[in-house]
A and B are shown apart, each in its own frame.
Chain A
Amino acid sequence: MITGTGVTKTYRQRGNLLGGRDVQALRGVDFAIEKGGAVTFIGESGCGKTTLGRIVAGLETYDSGEIVIDGTPMSGLRHRQRQAHFRRVQLIHQDPYSALNPTRTIHQTLHAPLALRARQKGRSKAWAEERARELLTLVGIDPGYVLPRYPHQLSGGMRQRVVIARALTVDPEVLVADESVSMIDVSLRLGILALLKDLRERLNVSVLFITHDIATARYIGDDGELYVIYRGQVVERGPTEAVISEPVHPYTQALLSAIPVLRGVERPGAERVVPTEALDERHADTGCLFARRCPFRTERCESERPSLEGTVHGHACYHPQPRAVIPVEASA
């Protein structure tokens, strides 16, 4: 289990003559990823969701707060000790086209980490070969076809499965999937989502799913938790289905309202929340971070910052109000 408490991260931008600008990527984020659980972070680009994913994977440092992996706080550890913990968290990149070395066959790609693994475990070379085949079968591709081939000979969906198989070579407990299906063809997308769900059930690995497409979050497991992140702050959090079907934060509602309606199959929801202006990172940090764009803001929102309230389904808003923003089935 991985928990984070009050995780902050500030990027210092090198300035010009007028001085630099600090970007607060994360402003005190709390989260928990249970063993075998599914957690989704959603938000617009620049909201900090990718930074958080990289922190969880140990690829990025954090300024304050704490990450605890199975009871061990990470900040007190030395680099080498920390690496051993973070090895159990593996990142699946967004772009399966650039995540694989084009000059290596899939066999070579999988063999390097497996050979290391075999040495650590005192297993034979034959074990590594066998394991490569086993993992490829697990992710749903034919080892005989894929192993001798180079990445360019495979389709995007296959490549993404190879990337997942490679992540599994080190027996991780958490997979961090950052926009892992956004570059996959539509007809194959559900296959990858179903695979992640399947890996949770079969191997009991947790999945941290990072995306801007809320609908995909439903497909990695109906027991999932959804975190809506806005400018480095969690503004709504709860069981995936609850947050999607009964969103209470205006930002969540704006995200859901923006999803195209599949006319002919669905009808638009009764209500629609449209931000009053475009996202501007330079907006003042006083008060609620979403206040400038919020159609429902009051004076209080501009001076005070709401914190995340509620246990199961929480939100950071002074005026939470359920709104029917998601599409309904046309036949209903």
Chain B
Amino acid sequence: MTESFAPGVRVQDLTVVYRTPVGELPALAGVGLTLAPGTITGIVGESGSGKSTLALSLLNAVQPPGRISGGSVEIDGLGDVVRLTGDDLRRARGRQVGYVFQAAQNSLNPLKTVGKQLLDLGRSHDVADLPALLREARALLGRMGLDGGRVLDSYQHELSGGMRQRVGIMLALVLNAHLVVLDEPTTALDMITQATILRIVKEVHRERGLTTLIVTHDIGVAAEVTDSLAVMYGGRVVEHGPTMDVLGSPRHPYTRGLIRAIPRLSGDIGEATALPGRPPTLGTIPAEGCVFRERCPLRMAVCDTVDPAPAAYGERTVACHAVGRPVNLAVRKEYV
């Protein structure tokens, strides 16, 4: 059995390419990201930013036509996941890394009860004591406010969206994984159900001593639960730091624009503006220079040719040529 501890994760220089008719295009271009043990990290980004690809890389589960072409994903107690193959990889998935898939509501087998699927999971991981697994599952479901016995006897169509999401979380945790990845955990859920799921995620994270990664397009969701926040754009992490700091004083022009573009309940309606232009797709990510420059109000000559490397500013990492230059103070004012 694995020890109970929250593992740290170090993603270094990770590059993932997708094969297309026009050659291999990078969905992730040299991404670096560290998840501190015991924290909840959020990855936010728009469609095509590479956030789901990065999350899948933690399981070494990028599907063809995509492949990890470089870099490493070091997970404490597991080593470099990129090098894992075959049975070692299969065992790591589920045992050490729990994954709650995007649209977990629809990722259950409609022909089997939840309990049967749980037993399949147990057998595929050579769990000797299946009754204990069932007990653990019932306890977890009970912890999330469900009637465990009833849920295990149910088919997916008998469960509501919020209940299925909790089943997804149960399946990710039942083998005692201490690194959990949640991909869009609340998309397609109602507001009140979303709030319930987020509360459960926070509580379970704390009680079980996990390292949690949440991938979402909804900054509000990340703001609510995460300790640290990474903002992705065009296959790069453009800003990363403590959540309160990143949201309270964003430094990358994309982060600033994104926060200003969120419809909110408080504040002046007139101050909110959409970002001009549109997010890049795999085919339109520029080959050189900064990926954000087409939409950037701080664009300079250097942005056209040199892709800015992430630079550390205290606890914050920002990848932008314009950040840290005193000349931009005047420009920055309108964003604050």
Q: Which A residues are within 8 Å of any B CB, using their own CB?
A: 44-45, 155-158, 185-191, 193-194, 212-216, 218-219, 222, 244, 254-266, 274-275, 278-279, 326-330
State whether A255 touches B192 (Cβ < 8 A): yes
Flag B251-266 by CB within 8 Å of A: 1 or 0 each: 0000001110111111
**Chain A hits for B190, CB < 8 A:** 44-45, 212, 279
CB-nearest residue of chain B to A281:
B160
State whether B266 touches A212 (Cβ < 8 A): no
Pick the residue among A187, A215, A263, A278 that contacts B196 (CB under 8 A): A278
Contact A262:B278 (CB < 8 A) given known A185-B217, A186-B46: no
**Chain A hits for B249, CB < 8 A:** 264
Supplied contacts A185-B217, A279-B192, 20 more A-B pairs, CB within 8 Å: A186-B46, A186-B261, A186-B262, A187-B279, A189-B261, A189-B274, A190-B263, A212-B190, A216-B263, A219-B263, A219-B272, A222-B269, A256-B265, A259-B191, A261-B220, A262-B219, A262-B262, A265-B223, A266-B266, A278-B162
Closest 4 interchain pairs by CB?
Answer: A264-B248, A264-B247, A260-B220, A191-B274
State whether A189 touches B223 (Cβ < 8 A): no
State whether B192 touches A327 (Cβ < 8 A): no
Cα A44 to Cα B160 with chains together (Å): 13
Cα A44 to Cα B188 with chains together (Å): 11
Pick the residue among B218, B244, B272, B275 that contacts A264 (CB under 8 A): B244
State whether B261 touches A190 (Cβ < 8 A): yes
Cα A265 to Cα B272 with chains together (Å): 13
Cα A266 to Cα B47 with chains together (Å): 26
CB-nearest residue of chain A to B254:
A187
State whether B269 touches A219 (Cβ < 8 A): yes
State whether B263 touches A189 (Cβ < 8 A): yes
Contact A258:B248 (CB < 8 A) given known A186-B258, A187-B261, A264-B223: no
State whether A260 touches B247 (Cβ < 8 A): no
Flag B189-221 by CB within 8 Å of A: 1 or 0 each: 011111110100000000000000000011111
Q: Does B57 contact A (CB under 8 A)?
A: no
Pick the residue among A191, A244, A254, A263 that contacts B247 (CB under 8 A): A263
Measured between C-beta atoms, what is the minimum distance from B26 to chain A in Å? 20
Measured between C-beta atoms, what is the minimum distance from A140 to chain B in Å? 10
**Chain A hits for B88, CB < 8 A:** none
Cα A274 to Cα B218 with chains together (Å): 21
CB-nearest residue of chain A to B245:
A264
**Chain B hits for A329, CB < 8 A:** 266-267
State whether A187 touches B266 (Cβ < 8 A): no
State whether B261 touches A257 (Cβ < 8 A): no
State whether A254 touches B192 (Cβ < 8 A): yes
CB-nearest residue of chain B to A274:
B195
CB-nearest residue of chain B to A256:
B265
Measured between C-beta atoms, what is the minimum distance from A255 to chain B in Å? 6
Cα A185 to Cα B262 with chains together (Å): 10
Measured between C-beta atoms, what is the minimum distance from A220 to chain B in Å? 10
Contact A258:B274 (CB < 8 A) given known A265-B259, A329-B266: no
State whether A260 touches B198 (Cβ < 8 A): yes
Q: Does B41 contact A (CB under 8 A)?
A: no
Interface of A, secondary structure class, is mixed
Measured between C-beta atoms, what is the minimum distance from A241 to chain B in Å? 9
CB-nearest residue of chain A to B249:
A264
Cα A244 to Cα B259 with chains together (Å): 21
**Chain A hits for B224, CB < 8 A:** 260-261, 263
Cα A260 to Cα B189 with chains together (Å): 13
Contact A244:B265 (CB < 8 A) given known A260-B223, A278-B162, A278-B196: yes
Pick the residue among A187, A222, A266 that contacts B264 (CB under 8 A): A266
**Chain A hits for B219, CB < 8 A:** 186, 262
Cα A208 to Cα B265 with chains together (Å): 19
Interface centre among A191, A215, A218, A262 (most CB of B within 10 A): A262
Q: Does B243 contact A (CB under 8 A)?
A: yes
**Chain A hits for B261, CB < 8 A:** 186-190
Q: Does B273 contact A (CB under 8 A)?
A: yes
Ordered by A's residue number, 13 sampled pairs between the chains whose C-beta atoms are within 8 Å are A155-B278, A157-B278, A185-B217, A186-B218, A186-B262, A187-B46, A187-B261, A187-B275, A259-B265, A264-B249, A266-B267, A275-B192, A327-B265
**Chain A hits for B248, CB < 8 A:** 263-265, 330
CB-nearest residue of chain B to A44:
B190
**Chain B hits for A326, CB < 8 A:** 265-266
CB-nearest residue of chain B to A330:
B248
Q: Does B104 contact A (CB under 8 A)?
A: no
Q: Does B281 contact A (CB under 8 A)?
A: yes
Q: Does B246 contact A (CB under 8 A)?
A: yes
Cα A309 to Cα B247 with chains together (Å): 41
Pick the residue among B46, B47, B220, B273 that contacts A259 (CB under 8 A): B220
**Chain A hits for B47, CB < 8 A:** 156, 185
**Chain A hits for B246, CB < 8 A:** 264
Measured between C-beta atoms, what is the minimum distance from A269 to chain B in Å? 9
Cα A244 to Cα B267 with chains together (Å): 12
Interface centre among B261, B262, B266, B273 (most CB of A within 10 A): B266
Measured between C-beta atoms, what is the minimum distance from B319 to chain A in Å? 18
CB-nearest residue of chain A to B278:
A155
Within 8 A of A (CB), among B258-310: 258-259, 261-267, 269, 272-275, 278-279, 281
